[in-house]
A and B are shown apart, each in its own frame.
Chain A
Amino acid sequence: QQQVKQSPQSLIVQKGGISIINCAYENTAFDYFPWYQQFPGKGPALLIAIRPDVSEKKEGRFTISFNKSAKQFSLHIMDSQPGDSATYFCAASKLNTGNQFYFGTGTSLTVIP
């Protein structure tokens, strides 16, 4: 059973456009929500993360929006660049219960020049 559901599976965006990836979860015990970026042949790398006590977090062109009541969170990539072409994974974990993360199934983003 997938504890974190991610959509879309793939996304094609023009350079300069906004890329939006959505995730939803069911377990209200989750209290840490990171996003990871993975390039071909490489392991995932942390991009940005949010706690449920804030509704939005921005780092450069990357923003996480968090809706606690809807149990949804999303990644927005502003001014998308060809170098952003990668696979993105959302994830969720519970604090202080070890380091077990539940990942979404991934979104393959292609930014067309």
Chain B
Amino acid sequence: KAGVTQTPRYLIKTRGQQVTLSCSPISGHRSVSWYQQTPGQGLQFLFEYFSETQRNKGNFPGRFSGRQFSNSRSEMNVSTLELGDSALYLCASSFRGTGNSPLHFGNGTRLTVT
């Protein structure tokens, strides 16, 4: 079974631009979560989607948004990029999404904002 696929792997953007990241979950997984990973901060929860509905949202500004499609694929968008948005963005899928089912992470998209 194919794992979680995130595209692109690397992205360089300029302050003020916007960016869209893509995530294809493991087949059959309906829960997709997004995390921001930065040195010293660990993984910070952005949001979670289940069957196209956002169920949970972390403490990030409204510039961060996402969506999930009917095939469970998900996209994350960041508008008006700031230098502090430079990070590794991880997508994780889960079969049940009940809070005790394992998260299966992709290898992330490394975003650099200059």
Q: Is the CB of A41 within 8 A of B107?
A: yes
Interface residues of B in 84-114 (CB under 8 A from A): 90, 92, 94, 97-108
**Interface size class for chain B?**
20 to 34
Q: Which residue of B lies closest to A99 (CB)?
A: B97
User: Which residues on B are within 8 Å of A, measured CB to CB?
Assistant: 4, 31, 33, 35, 40-45, 48, 50, 55-56, 58, 90, 92, 94, 97-108
Total of A-B residue pairs, C-beta within 8 Å? 82
Could you say which of A54-62, A68-76, A87-95 contacts chain B?
A87-95
**Interface size class for chain A?**
20 to 34
A28 in the interface (beta carbon within 8 A): no
CA distance A100 to B59 in the complex (A): 12
CA distance A100 to B47 in the complex (A): 8
